[in-house]
Amino acid sequence: MISLTNCTTNMAGLTPIPPKVRAQIAKDTFMAFCIYESPQAPNNDCDGRIEWEHAYLYAGKRINEPWAIVPCCTSHNRGRGIVKEYNRYRALLRAKELMPDGLNDLMRRYPKFNWIQEFNYLHLKYGQEKRAT
């Protein structure tokens, strides 16, 4: 029998959320409800318990930061209702909210991805807020 107690990856080969980040987002009331309960969500048929979904990968690894992890019910995380683009849109809204300089911070920290272009594209599909500049 294999013990997974000290493993650094889960069964899918991905690293889990670090304990420090897990503790931080567990205190956040935003993380208690499925993001698809929003009226602007592409579908509102929530079902199951809340799971934390990594919305972005960078350099082949999950971004383990609070803004990049969004709450989804089981149906919207691994079921018939998942819309990855909407998950990414909501993560970018969180980045704008949580980071001092919003998307510009992401441009500095993760320079090989155009975060502002991504936000503007997703905003046209799902948003009601002002476009990033």
In this predicted structure, what is the pLDDT of residue 69? 96
In this predicted structure, what is the pLDDT of residue 29? 94
* pLDDT 10s digits, 45-73: 888 899 999 999 999 999 999 999 999 99
DSSP string, 8-66: SS-TTS-PPPPHHHHHHHHT-GGGGS-GGGSTTSS-----S-EEEEE--EETTEE--SG
For the CA atoms of 93, 99, 104, 107, the dihedral, rounded to the nearest 10 degrees, stands at -90
- Residue whose entry in the numeric block shows the structure tokens 């998950």: 87
In this predicted structure, what is the pLDDT of residue 86? 95
- pLDDT under 50: residue ranges of the chain: 1-11, 129-131
In this predicted structure, what is the pLDDT of residue 80? 82
d(CA 78, CA 83): 10
